[in-house]
Amino acid sequence: MAYLITDECISCGACEPECPNQAIIEGETIYIVDPEKCTECVGAFENQQCVEICPVDCCIPDPEHKETREELLAKWQKSHPDETPK
């Protein structure tokens, strides 16, 4: 499942450079996660980097975009064909 950023976001921007898939962009008032790019960091890291770095804990699983680990890994491999998953 992709992650999303809640309205508690303070727009600090800490999450954007941490995303290995460039799935986080600055919105009008808060940062936004593109669910088509978000792999929950599967393939790149053990833990979700946005969750790890967020100072207000506003990065949460998006119930509208449920995916299995296998689906997330396949999505990551499609975006990073020359990298070996971790």
Q: Provide the residue ranges of all domains of the chain, joining segments of one domain with +.
A: 3-79
What is the mean predicted confidence (pLDDT) over 31-43?
Answer: 97
State the chain's mean pLDDT as an integer: 96
What is the mean predicted confidence (pLDDT) over 51-63?
Answer: 97
What CATH architecture is 3-79? 2-Layer Sandwich (3.30)
Residue 74, CB half-sphere, CA atoms under 13 Å: how many? 6
40 closest CA partner among 68, 82, 64: 68
pLDDT of residue 18: 97
- Residue 75 phi/psi, 5-degree rounding, is -65, -40
As a whole-number percent, the residues of the chain with pLDDT over 90 amount to 93
- pLDDT value at 86 more than 90: no
What is the mean predicted confidence (pLDDT) over 44-53?
Answer: 97
Residue 75 identity (one-letter amino acid): K
- pLDDT value at 1 more than 90: no
